[in-house]
Chains A and B, each alone.
Chain A
Amino acid sequence: MAAISVARSSCGLINGLKVSLRSVTRVKYGAVSATVPQTSLHRSCRWYSVSHLSVKERIDQKRQAALQGGGQQRIEAQHKRGKLTARERVQLLLDPESFVETDMFVEHRCADFGMEQDRNKFPGDSVVTGRGRINGRLVYVFSQDFTVFGGSLSGAHAQKICKIMDQAMTVGAPVIGLNDSGGARIQEGVESLAGYADIFLRNVMASGVIPQISLIMGPCAGGAVYSPALTDFTFMVKDTSYLFITGPDVVKSVTNEDVTQEELGGAKTHTTVSGVAHRAFENDIEALLNLREFFNFLPLSNQDPAVTFALIELITNPLLFCLISHSFFSDRLVPSLDNIVPLESTKAYDMLDIIHAIVDERDFFEIMPNYAKNIVVGFARMNGRTVGIVGNQPKVASGCLDINSSVKGARFVRFCDAFNIPIITFVDVPGFLPGTAQEYGGIIRHGAKLLFAFAEATVPKITIITRKAYGGAYDVMSSKHLRGDVNYAWPTAEVAVMGAKGAVQIIFRGKENQAEAEAEYVEKFANPFPAAVRGFVDDIIEPATTRKKICQDLEVLASKKQVNPWKKHANIPL
């Protein structure tokens, strides 16, 4: 704080120049330090009244001030919390020197409560906005600056965010928000609320047009939480980020519950209990680096096809790496899949083993790995091309569908569909989870979401039934009947209304020899033939060939065109 006002008010051409030069070199490496000379001479004066600076110098000074955010002390305090500053985050997230900042000179307009004073004005206000590149691909970014008024949202702050969102919409590029904000700027009152609403509206308008990602890197409370909630993906940083509507104090006063910030809205809560956040990372750096990795999977907008890594062998630097071979071994056989499904249908296995073995480089970016673990969703690549993967997880609750897993799956499928990402579904589902908890919770309408999502999706859909596909859950899981493009069954597949035991009790009610009846049922239905003879699966394939087949199918389906009937929008059962 002090440093900034000094920088602003310091006079003398040479001095000012020195400061700016020094700061430029410093800021390049992100470690900003307070070595600005202290002259308290005109501290309390408005700078223009005493300044002898040219416009150019004033520009430089403003830029310097903007780069310093809330000042050295606050920056140090931010670091002490284990958090990076808004600018450091942007620098890490984007390719080196690719950040193009906008609205560096914007200041807040509040004139109440002493806010109009010079020391309460910070060029750029409490958010850093602009565009940049991640691995060469365009992205718009805003990064809230906790060092300026705790990152609180002023009208100007909101306006800056809205501006880059509008630009992102016009060119068709994703928006990444790095959230670290104490909430609304209380001094501004309703203007701040309006700001939130402006952002919400843009979040909604951009939904399904450009990918929107939120990374929560500090507090995000009150109305502010709805912006991340509206975006496609919300990631959090462990121990330093919180998301809640009302904090622990209010909770205590209203419901008399004692709860810590971490329990109420920490990363663990939201990635395991509430399902609000999609993934959590250890710290700022890991979060940002992972976000870069995640960004590689996404198309820039709904006008772009799924991202494909180049297949060319690229000769980057003849001396350094002769060549980086880019074969993904698309026709690789995967022998480990031949025996992954246990013979006993009651025995579990890990669907992730199948996914890792099938996708390129065993690289699977799982979404919500710790929430509703009975369904696995995430991104991977097949022969270099991004695909979305949905799989029942037999290891957890037998892989049954329940409320949470249906909602998790549905949202993921809709994202893939919106952004032209083919969906590969691995099915081993014994059905929907029975019970009053589920029925009272509305499994009917929630389960319908997943059904709805798969049915309306027009992207290439490839389904592999690895084992059980029972009852309504069979229909839901990207079945042929929901316009599945290619549906395969492994020899271990069983497509039936229900398991043998239950079926026999109904069909042969009262019959003496239940065991024999069960054997008959198993013989007839606990295999892929009933589905195959009706054409409900296109082929029964050797598991080892699954990768090869999927790669070939995706090649063909790349030109798939399918259009749903015109409608204003569908009415998904929310």
Chain B
Amino acid sequence: MNFAFIFHFFCFIILVTLKHINWNKTLNQKWVHVKMADEAVCVGSAPTSKSYLNMDAIMDAIRVTGAQAVHPGYGFLSENKEFAKRLAAEGVAFIGPDTHAIQAMGDKIESKLIAKAAKVNTIPGFDGVVKTAEEAVKIAQEIGYPVMIKASAGGGGKGMRIAWNDEETREGFRFSSQEAASSFGDDRLLIEKYIDNPRHIEIQVLADKHGNALWLNERECSIQRRNQKVVEEAPSTFLDPVTRRAMGEQAVQLAKAVQYSSAGTVEFLVDSKKNFYFLEMNTRLQVEHPITECITGLDLVEQMIRVAKGYQLQHTQDDIPINGWAIECRVYAEDPYKSFGLPSIGRLSQYQEPLDLDKVRVDSGIQEGSDISIYYDPMISKLITYGATRAEALGRMEDALDNYVIRGVTHNIPLLREIITHPRFVSGHISTNFLPEVYPDGFKGHQLEADAKRELLASAAVLYIAAELRSAKQFVLFRVASTPVECSHWELCVELGEERQDVEISKSGTVEMDGAKVEVWGALNLASPLLPLTINGTQRMLQCLSRDAAGVIVLQYLGTLFKVRVLSKLAAELNSYMPEKVSEDTSSILRSPMPGTVVAVSVKPGDTVAEGQEICVIEAMKMQNSLTAVKQAKVKSVHCKPGETVGEGDLLVELE
């Protein structure tokens, strides 16, 4: 069988054995799946509307390669009914549900009507299509605040905004409609009652073309930032068998109501009383499908291909187990310190997946050297760990995150590691508001306790000494004898932020500071980014990001990056004479917080802006971000215009 896969991001292992093509794009020639493909066809240049969303080019590619079936991957065209229609017209099989189901479920409003008819619980206050801002306000008032506004055609949290009053509704309407137009080519919107503090739990369904349908248990996807999933797990700690069965059966009812075939996902919001409401149905393979595969043992892609070929399901509902626990972290190229993740770009100068660990799966479409550009989702990979129990899976996830080497782009591993080790997460007490509730002032990285701080400082000191010792061991023909200082005891000063700590490392093998002792032991290789250390008997995987001659060592410890400065005691004492160098005042300068495209500039030189007033809008990774003034001031100069591509830190607007 000749397959065509439209990959937006990932490839599946089973495909290697099949003949398939990829529509790579000029920008993407470096991505892994292009290498795995038997044939690759370029479908256009970077912006998605010119490549993966360019249906004509893709149809041409299908013709050229003679593909008999197309798997659409996760995003882009996977839920596009037009695409499925055109494929059908060409006689090419679409690996996924038929057009009718995509159309029915792809439309948020129609899908809810169908769900209602199929006796599936739906969210109260559900309403229709919105054309203008004023209409939006009216609808919102009818439903009662808070309300949620999103693009009808968009999946997940894309284009979704929550409004608590009329003003926010107007703003939300404006943003959502723009985003809807730019991402989906369909500017219809949806407004509905917003359920505060809900969990997001979804049921995986699998149906064939013979009227059989199964539910493959749930996935807990409550950990989200800006309504996009970050950490998912299966099963959920929250569901009891009764609720699970009720949700599963409703999901299957819905699938059957639309004659669904292939794999799909029915998303529910679950409130604290375990009431659940239908949210939407995704008529494609979800990014987080691997965790379902882990606990059920089914290969969903294989099942989808079987179904597309017309085979009956191999399993019955009783065959579907919950074996163990699986967790997925979405590793993004973004800065978690800026509203839980603003996109970052760069070239992966070093990249090493923790694949040597047991029961760890990494789905990625990139490799060392790949560019992370502003044109796509900033996802680097999906990191999945599996264990017999939740605790085991979480422990593996910790190890996997610590062993994951990503250099060249800022990534969200610090946040991921904090989430999966947070007591609230560990106890299962989560909701979609987890992040803002746990980090009300924004994510600040791992907060070191006294013991952990000592461990970090001791590790940095040991690394420093290791480098010193290595420098002294040079292999030369000894024309002039080398006489390294035989040292058995070092006095150092380690700085972390404003704090300074005197440290002594003695021959007895201990690092002493502040009256406490830390034993550090480990096989250090200065050429390796990973530093496996045993600190006070506990094994820790640290990473060294950089180490410079002036003693600055950047270590990744417990997921978070710490900049530590190690100096000899003498250098530390003399350092007090060194002048502080002042950096520029930034309150009157607006710089781009991330790389992206300028969508709108709302001010011109001479304007007076109020504090909090929107200055310009940057679109990056398909998200629109409004940049506001931090103080009331007059605009001095504007250095950007709509349509321009800007880099992180680029000067946008100067205030007086």
A residues neighboring B (CB under 8 Å): 29-31, 79, 82-84, 88, 91-92, 95-98, 133, 135-138, 171-173, 239, 281-286, 289-290, 292-294, 296, 299-301, 303-305, 307-312, 314, 316-329, 334-340, 343, 353, 356-357, 360-362, 384
Contact = CB atoms under 8 A, between A and B. Distances in A.
Nearest to A334: B368
Interface string B187-219: 000000000000000000000000000000000
A323 B471 CA distance: 15
Given A285-B571, A309-B475, 17 more contacts: A29-B573, A84-B574, A84-B577, A96-B568, A136-B484, A286-B549, A300-B480, A304-B476, A310-B473, A310-B475, A311-B475, A312-B473, A322-B523, A326-B470, A329-B527, A339-B29, A343-B26
A304 B479 contact: yes
Contact of A338 (B369, B488, B509, B569): B369
Contacts of A299: 476
B575 A285 contact: yes
A303 B479 contact: yes
Instruction: Give the bracket for the number of chain B residues in contact with chain A.
Output: 35 or more
B551 interface: yes
Contact of A337 (B369, B477, B484): B369
Nearest to A89: B574
B505 interface: yes
A286 B550 contact: yes
Given A173-B480, A339-B369, A353 B473 contact: no
Contacts of A83: 577
A67 to B, nearest CB: 15
B643 to A, nearest CB: 21
Contacts of A339: 29-30, 369-370
B349 interface: yes
Contact of A304 (B477, B550, B571): B477
A135 B483 CA distance: 8
B348 interface: yes
Contacts of A92: 570-571, 574
Interface string B467-496: 011111111110110111101100000000
Contacts of B567: 285
Contacts of B508: 319
Given A133-B483, A296-B474, A337-B369, A29 B570 contact: yes
B548 to A, nearest CB: 8
B500 to A, nearest CB: 14
Contacts of B477: 304-305
Name the residue among A289, A304, A320, A337 with the largest chain B CB count within 10 angstroms.
Answer: A320
A30 B570 contact: yes
A319 to B, nearest CB: 3
Contacts of A286: 549-550
B14 interface: no
A88 B569 CA distance: 13
A289 to B, nearest CB: 5
B347 interface: yes
A318 B522 CA distance: 10
Contacts of B443: none
Interface core residue of A91, A172, A283 (most chain B CB under 10 Å):
A283
Contacts of B521: 319-322
Contacts of B241: none
A294 to B, nearest CB: 8
Given A79-B577, A285-B571, A361 B473 contact: no
Nearest to A97: B485
A384 B475 contact: yes
Interface in B336-363: 347-351
B349 A321 contact: no
Nearest to B569: A29
B349 A82 contact: no
B577 A309 contact: no
B507 interface: yes
Contacts of A281: 550
Given A92-B574, A290-B550, A324-B524, A319 B509 contact: yes
A309 B462 contact: no
B273 interface: no
16 contacts: A29-B570, A96-B485, A98-B485, A136-B472, A136-B482, A137-B480, A283-B579, A284-B577, A290-B550, A293-B549, A300-B480, A314-B470, A327-B525, A356-B349, A357-B349, A384-B475
A292 B549 CA distance: 8
B388 interface: no
A467 to B, nearest CB: 16
A173 B483 CA distance: 14
Of the listed residues A289, A318, A328, the one surrounded by the most CB atoms of chain B closer than 10 A to its CB is A289
Contacts of A310: 470, 473-475
B469 to A, nearest CB: 5
A336 B369 contact: yes
Contacts of B570: 29-30, 91-92, 96
A18 B52 CA distance: 84
Nearest to A365: B549
A300 B369 contact: no
Contact of A289 (B26, B368, B549): B549
